[in-house]
Structure 1
Amino acid sequence: MSGEPGRRVYTSAMPVRWSDQDLYHHVNHARMITLIEEARIPWLFSEGLPTATLTAGAVMTDLAVKYRGQIRHADGPIRVRMWCEKVGGAMFVARHEVRARTTPDSAPPEVDCTATIAAFDLATQRPRRFTRDERGYLLEFRHWDPA
């Protein structure tokens, strides 16, 4: 984690598995989504975090992925930088920038992803509002440009 509250960025280093590649020797789209998802776990769902409660119910309502470059097995471990672009009462928009091990943070990411995630009550099958602690934690990461 880096930055001051209100401008924090969480970075995860993710290994690229040999099986993540496709016939063209770059990371397959479905595998990239999985790597991004796995990078998000320690940021949001680790025990002791205010947002760990989302493990009891959260749904993805939107996902957009833009590829600007290729990621290959040799590019790992990849770095996934994450923060919030928007935090609402029951949803947030998480931004993810994926860079190869050797790509500097000042360079454009090879992959840019936004995911809209909503808190969800499994018992009622309806969205629920964030608790004060959940929302406060997410707001620590809310900004448009992490640079």
Structure 2
Amino acid sequence: MTEQLVYEAGGPLGVSGEPGRRVFTAALPVRWSDQDLYHHVNHARMITLLEEARIPWLFEEGIPTATLAAGAVMTELAVKYRGQVTRADGPIRVRMWCEKVGAAMFVARHEVRGRAAPDSAPAAVECTSTIAAFDLATQRPRRFTRAEREHLMQFRHGDPA
């Protein structure tokens, strides 16, 4: 993955920060169909947007964790809505990093902001998701490879700068 940042949607996209405190930022459009009756992004659609944001961070070809695309399971998901997200806020920016990296699982932290909100503004949506490496053949969790773990550890920190 390129280290070059693209400045769009109110902030840097891609990887930023130093190893051991990296953040991945993805920009996603908010589609008309993502809205509920009150023009807020529907909860189920927000979960889908968060999933779509993780794809370029973890699963694209050439990234050490791309192997997780063949076997990973979500074991826990917690979403807190701190503000509204509407179609007019799009494209939204999702900042992601790891709060914890274990032998076979990691806890990913997500912050969602509208395109005009600076990274210093409170996030409209905060999410933590626990994801485990999984062997589909044996139907059991598996340990991370060395390369997978090293990649995740670059994003390991409690609160991004």
Structure-1 residue corresponding to 2:11: none
CA distance in 1, matches of 2:74, 2:123: 23
Unmatched segments (≥5 aa) in structure 2: 1-14
Q: 1-side partners of 2:69 and 2:30: how far apart?
A: 25
The counterpart of 2:47, out of the listed 23, 29, 33, is 33
Q: Structure 2: how far apart are the matches of 1:146 and 1:55?
A: 25
Superposed CA RMSD in Å reads 0.4
Task: Give the unaligned 5+ runs of structure 1.
Answer: none
Q: In the alignment, residue 60 of structure 2 is paired with which amino acid?
A: S
Does 1:87 pair with 2:104?
no
Moved over 6 A (4+): none
Separation (CA, whole Å) in 1 of partners of 2:119 and 2:69: 30
Identify the residue that residue 128 of structure 1 maps to in structure 2: 142
Normalised TM-score (structure 2): 0.91
Q: How do 1:1-147 residues align onto structure 2 when only pairs under 5 Å count? A: 1-147=15-161
Residue 8 of structure 2 is matched in structure 1 by none
- TM-score, length of structure 1 as denominator length: 0.99
The structural deviation recorded for 1:111 is 0.0
Which AA in structure 2 matches 1:45? F
SS of the residue corresponding to residue 89 of structure 1 reads coil
1:86-127 alpha-carbon deviations (Å, 9 max, x no partner): 000000000000001111111110000000000000000000
